[in-house]
Structure 1
Amino acid sequence: MSQFKQTVALKDVRCFALHGYYPEEQIIGNHFVIDLETEFTPQGFDDELAQTVNYEDLNTIIQEEMKNTQKLLETVLNNIISKVIEHYPFVETINVSMKKLNPPMPGQIGHSFVKLSYTSAK
């Protein structure tokens, strides 16, 4: 028997935030790009938001967590995943990644990159 898998995602969500390990990063801030992807088994296709993940909610979660200054990008990503699970416990996998544009290091660096993945134990 075949089974559907559904993906709901937001790509290239751009934010300015004060994340960074060093105190000056938390003062100056930086530009970030976030990708958030969820996957789950749909319970039906009745044209109702209750049957899916609302990507407006995903954007709200990202925007709220980007306002909470953290030293490590991994902490931000973990917080985003926790909030998605809280809102959508039926989600089976979550992949969230973040690029820090022009990280403050010597040389020309386009971006640093951190990714965190979650898989339900169900």
Structure 2
Amino acid sequence: MDCIRIKKLEVFAKHGVMPEENALGQKFVISIELFCDVRKAGQTDNLTYSVNYAEVAEFVTKKTQENTFQLIERLAEYLAQEILLHYEAVEKVSIEVEKPWAPVHLPLQTVAVSVTRQWHTAYLSIGSNMGDTKGHLDQAVEALRQDSWTRVEKVSSYIVTAPVGGVEQDDFLNGAVMLRTLRTPEELLELIGEIERSQKRERIIHWGPRTVDLDILLYDQEIIHTESLTVPHIEMANRMFVLEPMCEIAPYAKNPLNGCCMLEMKQQIQGREDS
């Protein structure tokens, strides 16, 4: 990916743990790497197709000066998020914040913190089989849209499917959602948990009825297995109610575990059913 670099931007601001740092202020030196596609700008010599580095420098200066944080870790995190949210063309950003006047009373040149943050692509399965099922799904999608760190890119049609797992219950309404998010997988899991709780989701019976159910199917091409989260979703390749909506919005999105895309996995299930 192409990169625009802003090196050693000097900003006088008020950040630090010590009270005098917040009152008197000091110099901070900020370096920025903006990862974006500048090919068209290079071909046309038109700034419209790039990111204006002068504007970014002014933006970072303003954001640095209008806030007061104790830690430069917090400042770096904040600046990275603000840039990604404000500049749509920027896919990834690296920020280094240096504090050359850090009050450590030792002969050092500077202290610094570097962070790299980026947009991630995630896919969710959504389902409901209690009450106003369409209303529950629409409400969940709207809650995702309201999250400042998340962009809803695509929403599939909703399909009616029979329940699985052997529990007697009503049919489900199912769909899939494509997201762009600044959240980590764990933070995304926390968000969808909050959405489920806000819609009175209760986990009483395994595979039982629910007002709304949101599951992370894919997160970039990462393979994650922790106590609380497994990605790709363990049952994705075996569930037509997952694959059919996914084939509508992302037929060629791949399962990193087997290298198969959604369309291939759907065809595999259909082949088993026909044989």
Provide TM-score, normalisation by structure 2: 0.40
One-letter amino acid of the counterpart of residue 111, structure 1: T
Structure number with higher relative contact order (C-alpha < 8 Å, ≥ 6 residues apart): 1
Instruction: Figure out how many residues of one structure are paired with residues of the other and give that number.
Output: 118
Which residue of structure 1 aligns with residue 44 of structure 2? 46
Structure 1 runs (4+) greater than 3 angstroms displaced: none
Greater fraction of residues in strand: 1
Per-residue deviation at 1:8? Answer: 1.1
1:48-67 superposed matches below 5 A = 48-67=46-65
Say if 1:6 and 1:40, in contact at 8 Å, map to a contact too: yes
Max Rg structure: 2
Which residue of structure 2 aligns with residue 94 of structure 1? 93
Q: State the SS of the aligned residue for 1:108.
A: coil
CA distance in structure 1 between the partners assigned to 2:26 and 2:109 by the alignment: 13
CA distance in structure 2 between the partners assigned to 1:26 and 1:41 by the alignment: 38
CA distance in structure 2 between the partners assigned to 1:75 and 1:48 by the alignment: 35
Greater fraction of residues in helix: 2
Which residue of structure 1 aligns with residue 109 of structure 2? 110
CA distance in structure 2 between the partners assigned to 1:87 and 1:119 by the alignment: 13
Per-residue deviation at 1:43? Answer: 5.7
Q: State the SS of the aligned residue for 1:75.
A: helix
Q: State the SS of the aligned residue for 1:41.
A: coil
One-letter amino acid of the counterpart of residue 47, structure 2: L
Say if 1:26 and 1:69, in contact at 8 Å, map to a contact too: yes
Q: State the SS of the aligned residue for 2:51.
A: coil
The correspondence for 1:9, drawn from 2, 5, 8, is 5
Over the aligned positions, Cα root-mean-square deviation in angstroms equals 1.6
Percent identity between the aligned chains? Answer: 25
* 1:61-81 deviation digits (Å, cap 9, x = unpaired): 211122122111122222222
